Amino acid sequence: MRRDVTSSLSLDATGPVHLVLAVAAAHAAAEESLTVTQDGVPLDVTEFEDQHGTRLHVADATAGRVEVRYAARIDGRAADLPVDELDRLRYLRPSRYCESDTLAPVAADEFAGLSGVELLAAVSSWVGTHLTYDGSSTDPTGGAAATLLSRRGVCRDFAHLVVALLRALDVPARVVAVYAPGLEPMDFHAVAEALVDGRWLVVDATALAPRSTLVRIATGRDAADTAFLTTIGEPVELVAMEVTATADALPEDDVRAPVTLG
């Protein structure tokens, strides 16, 4: 499978600021490019990579217009990520946006007796039918509990609720930012991953893009770990953003079938 992805950000910085970008495909693609410029002048960029392949690109800017451009072509599918005991511990704990302790009674009532892939399919379907996808309703500081109460949200909210419910049932789960061929409207996308039988399986309760085409960008406890842009310093305004993701095929996606991110 061949996938082509791009993203571009236009930012207005009001003063000195540390920019932390998470826009690159996890584990460097064979064909890719990333440029960060300010008022047309290239900025120095430093890359950091974590154990999941998340690549953070850091640049220092001053007041002015900053342009970020990324493009990559991904051929084939990546190998499954290794699993260690620290993963199991980290992704079972409640986190800022995934309050699994608060939602434990809901999870126990709704999914009693289910396990494995059957549980993932049930949680995905339950979240997908109990929430309405509404781009105008999301609160960037709200977590899974608030999403369940409002019954509305965007992809990050769907993913947070899935993760919180699974953790409440003692299934390690995490959030992944991805490029998503077939997504409409096109944007960065967020899905969940759950650890079942030694493999991280994708759960996307929005069902907005085929899981087998997704391209991993950033992996973490919740959206606090997977934001495409973090700024440290003076305020920055996001003036414009464009994301594209295409694949040479868009297969049908059966929510009951186990799928890993490739």
pLDDT in tens, the chain (262 residues): 899 999 999 999 999 999 999 999 998 788 999 999 999 999 999 999 998 899 999 999 999 999 999 999 999 887 777 888 899 999 999 999 999 999 999 999 999 999 999 999 999 999 999 999 998 876 778 899 999 999 999 999 999 999 999 999 999 999 999 999 999 999 999 999 999 999 999 999 999 999 999 999 999 999 999 999 999 999 999 999 999 999 999 999 988 899 999 7
Which amino acid, one-letter code, is at 239? V
Q: Is residue 233 part of a domain?
A: yes
Is 64 buried (19+), middle (13-18) or exposed (0-12) by CB count in 10 A? middle
Q: Is residue 257 part of a domain?
A: no
Q: Is residue 249 part of a domain?
A: no
Q: Is residue 38 part of a domain?
A: yes
* Domain match, 63 and 137 both: no
Q: Is residue 258 part of a domain?
A: no
* Domain match, 90 and 179 both: yes
Report d(CA 158, CA 152) in Å as an integer. 9
Q: How many CB atoms lie within 10 A of CB 230?
A: 14
Beta bridge partners, 240, equal 10
**CATH label of the domain that carries residue 34:** 2.60.40.2250
User: Domains in the chain: how many in total?
Assistant: 2
* Domain match, 221 and 91 both: yes
Could you list the residue range(s) of the whole structural domain that residue 104 is in?
85-225
* Domain match, 89 and 207 both: yes
* Domain match, 170 and 54 both: no
Q: Is residue 107 part of a domain?
A: yes
Q: Is residue 145 part of a domain?
A: yes
Sign of CA dihedral 93, 97, 100, 101: positive
* Domain match, 23 and 94 both: no
Contacts of 177 (CB under 8 A, 6+ apart): 22, 188, 189, 190, 216, 217, 218, 219, 226, 227, 228
* Domain match, 61 and 182 both: no
* Domain match, 131 and 203 both: yes
Q: Is residue 130 part of a domain?
A: yes
* Domain match, 109 and 185 both: yes
**CATH label of the domain that carries residue 182:** 3.10.620.30
* Domain match, 38 and 100 both: no
Is 133 buried (19+), middle (13-18) or exposed (0-12) by CB count in 10 A? middle
Write down the pLDDT at residue 138.
Answer: 66
Q: How many CB atoms lie within 10 A of CB 101?
A: 12
* Domain match, 104 and 196 both: yes
- 105 near 145, Cβ under 8 Å? no
Residue 27: left if φ>0, alpha if ψ -120 to 50, beta else—which one?
Answer: left
Closest-CA residue to 214 (of 154, 155, 134): 155
**pLDDT tens for residues 63-105?**
999 999 999 999 988 777 788 889 999 999 999 999 999 999 9
Answering whether pTM is above 0.85, one says yes
* Domain match, 16 and 144 both: no
Beta bridge partners, 223, equal none
